[in-house]
Homo-oligomer: A and B are copies of this chain.
Amino acid sequence: MSSPAPLIEVHRGDMLESLHSGHAVVCDDSGQIVQAWGDPMAVIFPRSSCKMIQALPLIESGAADAHGLTSEQLALACASHQGAHIHTDRVQVWLDQLGLKDSDFRCGPQWPGDIPARNEIIRAHAQPCQIHNNCSGKHAGFLTLNRHLGGAADYELVDHPVQQAGKAAFEEVTDMTSPGYGIDGCSAPNFATSVQGLARAMASFASAGDRSDTRSQAMVRLTQAMTAHPELVAGETRACTDLMRAMDGRVAIKTGAEAVFVAIIPERKLGVALKITDGSTRGAEAAIAAILVKLGVLDADHPATRARMVPEIRNWRGTLCGHIRPTRALL
């Protein structure tokens, strides 16, 4: 087992102030490691980075087609959105289609990350609902699958058919038995895997166009939904949205809490997974941008790339104080 590799440096003036280390793996369509940093076998919780895996049973079961889900809805099922109106309005329509209401969600209420949406609630002296939860699209997917399966209302429990279907898909695409699970921020179980297992799963998504089985077709639909609707997967100013736009729909990427990031690169049939050991989002964003540049699918000079890979640190008066940058290992 290797130690985490130093991946991202934070500089103030000309001195190093902070450092982010982690594990990262690039896998090809045979599941083999093309490149790795740190320990590929490090066990991690993928958190929201695996939402496209959790959405597989929604399609494979026939639930998505039975409910006529659109590409936008599939993108929302894979999303960690920021509760802007473009997100919550669509999830509300989806709930209405199911004849369900906010209280049927099991994800819990969360303040929107979207500033205008947040301020609207504050000015109304109101409180956020479960639909504002960044996972409400995923949970709308769970509710749809649950309706299809005829399961009980507690769809978030680990032994519920909805979550067991997710677990089976997860272990199949990561090609390993999950060593355990934790409860995620949205109350659903989150199954652990290795960084390599997660990268292998992403490579399977990336190469799914070569195959014609039900799973591969579902993988292609989900990847295309994410790349077709980058604004639904996260939101304005967010790394997932900005970087997917910068790659013009060629690559799907997804963040997860505690500094996980994955990428699905169909044109190269490559999958990427990384975890910054300390859980810092700024480190994960800089690292995924650097790896995508290194793999030749993201333009290093695109403003969205620079803002994530080598962001400036400015203070409250706008003075440039320092910058974040990848270590030599990522260049």
A residues lining the B interface (CB < 8 Å):
10, 12-15, 17-21, 43-45, 106-110, 119, 122-123, 133, 179-187, 190, 192, 258-259, 276-280, 283, 315-319, 321-322
Least Cβ distance of A269 to chain B in Å? 30
The complex places the Cα of A20 from the Cα of B44 at a distance, in Å, of 15
A-B contact pairs, 24 of them (CB 8 A): A10-B258, A12-B45, A12-B190, A13-B182, A15-B179, A17-B45, A19-B277, A19-B278, A107-B316, A107-B317, A108-B318, A110-B316, A119-B122, A122-B122, A122-B123, A182-B321, A183-B315, A183-B319, A184-B315, A184-B321, A185-B315, A186-B316, A187-B316, A187-B317
The complex places the Cα of A319 from the Cα of B185 at a distance, in Å, of 9
Q: Decide if A315 touches B187 in the complex (CB within 8 Å).
A: yes
The complex places the Cα of A274 from the Cα of B13 at a distance, in Å, of 21
The complex places the Cα of A307 from the Cα of B256 at a distance, in Å, of 25
The complex places the Cα of A120 from the Cα of B187 at a distance, in Å, of 32
Chain B residues closer than 8 Å to A259, beta-carbon distance: 18
Q: Decide if B122 touches A185 in the complex (CB within 8 Å).
A: no
Q: Decide if B277 touches A18 in the complex (CB within 8 Å).
A: yes
Chain B residues closer than 8 Å to A186, beta-carbon distance: 315-316
Chain B residues closer than 8 Å to A13, beta-carbon distance: 180-183
Closest 10 CB pairs of A and B: A108-B316, A12-B182, A108-B317, A18-B279, A13-B182, A278-B278, A183-B321, A185-B315, A110-B316, A119-B122
Chain B residues closer than 8 Å to A182, beta-carbon distance: 12-13, 15, 17, 321-322
| Identical copies in the complex | 2
Q: Decide if A12 touches B183 in the complex (CB within 8 Å).
A: yes
Contact of A185 among B44, B190, B192, B316 (CB under 8 A): B316
> Chain A binding site: helix, strand, loop or mixed by DSSP?
loop
Point out which of A10, A106, A133, A317 has the most chain B C-beta atoms below 10 A from its C-beta.
Answer: A317
Q: Decide if B109 touches A316 in the complex (CB within 8 Å).
A: yes
Point out which of A10, A107, A183 has the most chain B C-beta atoms below 10 A from its C-beta.
Answer: A183
Q: Decide if A18 touches B185 in the complex (CB within 8 Å).
A: no
Chain B residues closer than 8 Å to A187, beta-carbon distance: 315-317, 319
The complex places the Cα of A283 from the Cα of B18 at a distance, in Å, of 13
Point out which of A12, A43, A107, A190 has the most chain B C-beta atoms below 10 A from its C-beta.
Answer: A12
Q: A20 with B317: in contact, given A12-B183, A180-B13, A182-B322 (CB under 8 Å)?
A: no
The complex places the Cα of A45 from the Cα of B185 at a distance, in Å, of 33
The complex places the Cα of A149 from the Cα of B161 at a distance, in Å, of 74
Point out which of A10, A17, A322 has the most chain B C-beta atoms below 10 A from its C-beta.
Answer: A17
Chain B residues closer than 8 Å to A43, beta-carbon distance: 15
Q: Decide if A15 touches B180 in the complex (CB within 8 Å).
A: yes
Least Cβ distance of A120 to chain B in Å? 10
In this complex, what residue of B is CB-closest to A19?
B277
Chain B residues closer than 8 Å to A108, beta-carbon distance: 315-318
Chain B residues closer than 8 Å to A123, beta-carbon distance: 122-123
The complex places the Cα of A14 from the Cα of B182 at a distance, in Å, of 8
The complex places the Cα of A180 from the Cα of B322 at a distance, in Å, of 14
